[in-house]
Amino acid sequence: MANKYSNMVESKKLNKLIISFTPQLCGVFFLFQLERNDIMNNLQRLELETKGINLSQSELTIYLQENEMQPFEEYNPQSATSKRNIYRSALSILESVANNPTLMKSIKMDDTTISDFAESIQSRIDQLERKIRTLKTDEQIQNESNFFILFGD
């Protein structure tokens, strides 16, 4: 833990040094940082899933906690349960937007009507519901077997 903290402090010092040194090198350093720090937390993953819907961090946190996730824990892309809970959180957000006409007006794009937006959000809700139903949890995957007993004693 101390090593990770010291690396973050060194990284911040290097970041400040490069910013004060030249703006041209700053962009290169940030690209390097993005490649090095590809770890994402649950809150960032939910924001990625719901791009275009601007909610506060506290609102997103509530949606995650309602679906048994902690916002600042590291997102595990190999975990079927994590993926399923992110989709469930995104579904809750979309349902909230669909149930709030004033919010729907503020999110819609300039070139679409509200009815077009309502149809597209409803199709996305249906798509997420199907995806959630087909996704298995980590426990279900672990308990699966490749054989079954056809006849018992």
Task: Parse the chain into domains and list their residue ranges.
Answer: 2-36, 42-140
User: Which is higher by pLDDT, 110 or 77?
Assistant: 77
Mean pLDDT score, 124-139: 91
User: Which is higher by pLDDT, 55 or 143?
Assistant: 55
* Whole-number average pLDDT of the chain: 75
Mean pLDDT score, 36-62: 88
Per-residue burial over 62-99, b = 16 or more CB atoms within 10 Å of its CB, e = otherwise? ebbeebebebeeebeeeebbbbbbbbbbbbbbbeebbe
- Which pLDDT band, with edges at 50, 70 and 90, does 153 fall under? low
Comparing 25-34, 43-52, 62-71, 114-123, which segment has the lowest mean pLDDT?
25-34
Instruction: Report the C-alpha gap between 84 and 137 in whole angstroms.
Output: 7
User: Which is higher by pLDDT, 108 or 29?
Assistant: 108
| DSSP code, position 75 | P
- Which pLDDT band, with edges at 50, 70 and 90, does 18 fall under? very low
Residue 121 has pLDDT above 90, yes or no: no
